[in-house]
């Protein structure tokens, strides 16, 4: 399974993102003069010499003629990450405390949180496991085959076609009866949402994650329907 997918399902930042967050928290302290003098003196070398500062002026700048190796070193890298932040977030840093900045910057790394975290909705433990395995690509035997599980001898569906979630939800002839029942129930309860989706990717995303416009009760209903379909068609 892709580590990023697992982190996404849990609404956690990836390890590289968390490293960046720590660096940005450090830069916040530098900008707000909350670091020891020996640290601030290092950054003085990179201070923007502009005498008249505007809202678009960067406090610190990396020299134009810098090698890639230099830019990747700790101080220039920290300055570069800070300067790449959206302007509203930079302005926010000048007005609010570090805890507030941390909370706000988290939205930058997780702009769209998964509202359908299985811990928040009314699923049994079995349904929760089934759904999360599908979300992180560990539900189908094709994925287990890719990871060289010894008890899996083929990456194909029982119907002979390559096994994917799209195939399971929309194409597999062996699941036709269950799929018809699934889509009938989804259409009966969520027609206004599902009817607006025109491609398989969007439909699959809706079935696995729901939609932010749904209430928790509606979300629970949808994901219970989907997890039951997955359980009944487990390969």
112-117 contacts at long range (C-beta below 8 A, 24 or more positions apart): 113/11, 114/8, 114/9, 114/11, 114/209, 115/210, 115/212, 115/219, 116/209, 116/210, 116/219, 116/223, 117/9, 117/10, 117/11
Q: Where is pLDDT greater, at 127 or 156?
A: 127
Q: Where is pLDDT greater, at 6 or 31?
A: 31
202, 184 Cβ separation under 8 angstroms: no
- pLDDT in the model for residue 34: 94
For residue 190 the two structure tokens come to 């969520």
Q: Which position has the token pair 């997890």?
A: 227
- pLDDT in the model for residue 117: 60
- pLDDT in the model for residue 155: 63
210, 223 Cβ separation under 8 angstroms: yes
Q: Where is pLDDT greater, at 138 or 223?
A: 223
Q: List pLDDT tens digits, range 105-134.
A: 888 876 555 555 666 677 888 888 888 888
- pLDDT in the model for residue 52: 47
Domain boundaries, the chain: 3-109, 125-232
- pLDDT in the model for residue 96: 92
185, 224 Cβ separation under 8 angstroms: no
Q: Which position has the token pair 């020996």?
A: 38
Residue closest to 117 by CA, chosen among 186, 209, 193 = 209
13, 21 Cβ separation under 8 angstroms: yes
pTM, rounded to two decimals? 0.59
What's phi and psi for 60, nearest 5 deg? -125, 145
Reported residue count of the chain is 235
What 3-state class would DSSP assign to 2? coil
Is pLDDT at 73 greater than 50 in this prediction? Answer: yes
5, 136 Cβ separation under 8 angstroms: yes
pLDDT band at 26 (very low <50, low <70, confident <90, very high): very high
Q: Which of 116-120, 172-176, 209-213 has the lowest mean pLDDT?
A: 116-120
Is pLDDT at 181 greater than 90 in this prediction? Answer: yes
């Amino acid at each position: 399974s892709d580590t990023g997918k697992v982190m996404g399902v849990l609404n956690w930042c990836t390890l590289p993102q968390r490293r960046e967050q720590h660096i940005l928290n450090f830069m916040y302290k530098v900008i707000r003069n909350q670091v020891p003098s020996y640290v601030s003196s290092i950054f003085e070398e990179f201070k923007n010499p502009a005498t008249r500062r505007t809202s678009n002026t960067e406090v610190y700048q990396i020299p134009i003629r810098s090698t890639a190796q230099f830019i990747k070193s700790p101080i220039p890298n920290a300055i570069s990450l800070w300067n790449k932040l959206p302007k509203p977030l930079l302005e926010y840093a000048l007005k609010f405390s570090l805890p507030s900045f941390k909370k706000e910057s988290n939205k930058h790394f997780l702009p769209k949180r998964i509202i359908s975290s299985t811990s928040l909705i009314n699923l049994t433990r079995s349904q929760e496991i089934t759904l999360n395995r599908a979300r992180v690509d560990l539900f189908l035997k094709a994925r287990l085959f890719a990871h060289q599980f010894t008890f899996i001898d083929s990456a194909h569906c029982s119907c002979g076609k390559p096994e994917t979630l799209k195939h399971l939800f929309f194409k597999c002839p062996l699941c036709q009866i269950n799929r018809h029942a699934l889509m009938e129930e989804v259409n009966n309860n969520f027609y206004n949402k599902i009817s607006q989706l025109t491609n398989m990717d969007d439909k699959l995303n809706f079935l696995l994650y729901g939609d932010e416009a749904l209430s928790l009760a509606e979300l629970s209903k949808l994901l219970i329907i989907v997890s039951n379909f997955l359980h009944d068609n487990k390969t």
